[in-house]
Structure 1
Amino acid sequence: MTSEDFVPAPLRRLWRMSEPSRLGRPAALDVNLVIAAAVEIADRDGLGGVTLPNVAKSLGVTGMSLYRHIGSKDELLTLMADAALGAPPDLSTDDWREGLRSWGFAQRAALQRRPWLTRVPTAAPPSGPTQIAWMEAALTIMSRTRLDWAHKVGVLSLISGYVVQSVRQHSELTEGRAEGQGQADAERDYGRALARLVQPERFPETARLFSSALFEAPPSDTPDATIADADFALGLELILDGVAVRIQHSDS
């Protein structure tokens, strides 16, 4: 008995470990074809369109035949998420802050290409080869610091969570805006409306916020992508400021 015999079937499929050969004709379907079909549906119709009947129909097979290659709908989503994320870029740098900043923006770009990835339920820590590759990239960047393993994992989780939430929130706000309305105009209208409703006697600091120039700052012709990049960068830099403090404590 080898070590591979102790690997659960879902992980075997996730890592594309070879399965025992079967006698007879080669199967016309395999896990890669199932994943590719499911990803194509998600790209076209969103995650809600990914059902086992829809995947089977796109492949011209019966729904039951899919269970020879995947254990469940949840497992299919896990397989899709790992395959669709794509490999991380080369982030070789001696500057941990520059590296983590680039890592965050790269992960954001990957999720922006496929926003449905932000809606895949997270039932377990990263376990697929692509997700592990992203983890390896971040850990390599932080290997030049004196952070211990717990703090490295904490930083990785914090940035990843921020990226996912940022992309998902931006996608939802974009979908919720009136047709043709840009982000700058939406933020301006939001600020003006709330300034009329939020009373200083009840919400003094929030009232000061809405009466400030913040929501009037971006010109109405500022591209949405520019505003979104600036918003994302601000939050990421705040996270990295905290990481810098922790690294200073580790070095002292």
Structure 2
Amino acid sequence: MTELLWGKQPLPSRGPKPAVTLTGIAEAGIRIADAEGLDAVSMQRIAGELPVTKMALYRYVPGKTELVAVMSDLAMGSPPDRPDQPWREALHTWANDLYDGFTLHPWLLLSTVGRRLLGPNELAWMEQGVSALTESGLTGGEQLDSILVITSHIRNIAQQSTTFPGHTTGLTEEDMQQSLAEILTTEAARFPHLTTAMRTSAGSENQGLEFGLQRILDGLELLINGRKAST
């Protein structure tokens, strides 16, 4: 697995000249996952997209588990280059870039959970996030935990605001908002506080994204300033 993720897998040494590459196979899987969801990805489906047989694919990748790992790292890509910024602005930009990546490829929310080997692109994202806190006075563990908390928030908002390909409910965001508004109109006495809150809310997921992110950054700022004041 490590060799696959880090591009160190030896090319097939026997047989005709390879008709495809591991990157080309992963790109085909990404196209399928983007359009139909991760469950639709299979060696058979990918073979149908490429000029190779299903069995020929196993010369490049052992199976779907390994293929999804390669797909995930490729889909994440390298983090965008950004100009140097103070730590708070840098983490804010980093978090929004990460959110954009998850919403561009929603299946990444499913494929990048749990204990697994990490590829170069995913580690590059972690590197960029941690680098914003290098001069903050936080310990290495606190820097890593800060990135974990921010990433968890981004993942949660992305998951709540995303319709996964192949798992649609058939409802748009407008449908959901209208349905909830109608329910609260007729059930206001049962849910008085929720009704009041909804009436004074603009009702955007991105407000939740920004609100939560700013509160996390507020907490980090208090910790960083307190650490500096004590030294």
Q: Quick check: TM above 0.5? A: yes
Structure 2 CA distance for partners of 1:95 and 1:45, relative to 1, 3 Å: same
Find out whether 1:74 has 2:65 as its counterpart. Answer: yes
Q: What's 2:34 paired with?
A: 43
Q: Equivalent residue of 1:115, what SS?
A: coil
Question: Which whole-Å deviations, capped at 9, do the CAs of 1:188-244 have from their partners, x for residues lacking one?
Answer: 34544664444xxxxxxxx53x142x211256xxxx8xx222121001111112222
Match of 2:133 among 117, 142, 153: 142
Segments ≥4 residues shifted beyond 6 Å: none
The aligned runs of 1:66-215 (5 Å cut-off) are 66-124=57-115, 127-172=118-163, 175-176=168-169, 178-179=171-172, 181=174, 184-189=177-182, 191-192=184-185, 195-198=188-191, 207-208=192-193, 210-212=194-196, 214-215=197-198
Structure 2 CA distance for partners of 1:77 and 1:98, relative to 1, 3 Å: same
Task: Tell me how many residue pairs correspond in the alignment.
Answer: 227
Uncovered stretches (5+) of structure 2, i.e. residues with no partner: none
TM-fit CA distance, 1:105? 0.6
What's the Cα RMSD here? 2.7
TM-fit CA distance, 1:34? 1.0
Which structure exhibits the higher relative contact order, with contacts defined as CA atoms closer than 8 Å and separated by 6 or more residues?
Answer: 2
Uncovered stretches (5+) of structure 1, i.e. residues with no partner: 1-9, 199-206
TM-fit CA distance, 1:125? 5.4
- Residue identity in the other structure for 2:41: V
Separation (CA, whole Å) in 1 of partners of 2:23 and 2:91 = 31
